[in-house]
């Protein structure tokens, strides 16, 4: 996550998101940068509109944040009541045992 945060810091500061910038932010935060991860992040962000990605993530956040609670409620409501055997069926089952 610290690599993504570094990219967001650079973006918020209006700086170019490149390997040197990511490494500088990570170094300032006391994190030893992994060159492969830095390259992968910079490569994956190439051509990405970060402002649009943030807007999309923020728009999806309320739905995702309510996910577990909202998902559990309908499942509980939709679940049919479990019915045991009626008294007649129970008696018939006992009759079969003792025939």
Q: Give me the pLDDT at residue 60, please.
A: 84
For residues 22 and 33, is the Cβ–Cβ distance under 8 A?
yes
The domain limits of the chain are 2-58
Give Cα 29 distance to the centre of its chain. 26
Q: Give me the pLDDT at residue 6, please.
A: 96
pLDDT digits (tens, 9 = 90+) for 16-60: 999 999 999 999 999 999 999 999 999 999 999 999 999 998 888
pTM (two decimals): 0.60
Beta carbons within 8 Å of 53's beta carbon, 6+ residues apart: none
The Cα 22–Cα 9 span in angstroms is 9
Read off the tokens for 8.
Answer: 């967001």
pLDDT digits (tens, 9 = 90+) for 62-90: 765 555 555 555 555 565 666 666 666 66
Domain spanning 2-58, CATH class: mainly alpha
């Amino acid at each position: 996550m610290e690599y993504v945060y570094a990219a967001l810091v650079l973006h918020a500061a209006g700086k170019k998101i490149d390997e040197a910038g990511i490494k500088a932010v990570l170094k300032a935060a006391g994190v030893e940068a992994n060159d492969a991860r830095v390259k992968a992040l910079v490569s994956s962000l190439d051509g990405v509109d970060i402002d649009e990605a943030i807007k999309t993530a923020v728009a999806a956040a309320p739905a995702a944040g309510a996910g577990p609670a909202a998902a559990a409620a309908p499942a509980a409501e939709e679940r049919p009541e479990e019915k045991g055997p009626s008294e007649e069926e129970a008696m018939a089952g006992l009759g079969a045992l003792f025939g």
